[in-house]
Amino acid sequence: MGKFSYIAYLCREGNKDELQEEVSGIAKAMGRSSKDVADEFIFAYENAKKNKDDPAFKVIAEIQEEAADFHQSKLE
C-alpha cells in the first residue's frame, strides 16, 4: 500500500506537519502549496469518515481505515 497507507495514517492521526512533507512533491507538481494539498487530503479523509454510512462513501471510508491500520501495524 505504500504511500496511500502512510497518507491515510497521517490523516487519521491529524499529523499535518508530516503530511505536508509527504505531499510536497504532489503539491509542487500541481503548482500548489503543500499546506493546501494536505488540508484537502485531511478534508477528504474526514468527509469519507463522517459519511461512512452513505453508500457513496462506505467503500472509500473502509479502504482508508484499512490502509491506516496497515501502516500502523507496521509501526508496532
Question: What average pLDDT does the segment 19-47 reach?
Answer: 96
Which residues, at least 6 apart from 71, have a Cβ–Cβ distance to it below 8 Å?
1, 5, 6, 8, 9
Crossing angle for the helix pair 3-13 and 34-50, to the nearest 10 degrees: 80
Output 61 or 75, whichever has higher pLDDT.
Answer: 61
Summarize pLDDT for 41-73 with one digit per residue, the tens.
999 999 999 999 999 999 999 999 999 999 999
Residue 49 confidence (pLDDT): 94
pLDDT at 57: 94
pLDDT score at 1: 57
Is pLDDT above 90 for 13?
yes
Can you tell me which residue has the cell 503539491? Answer: 27
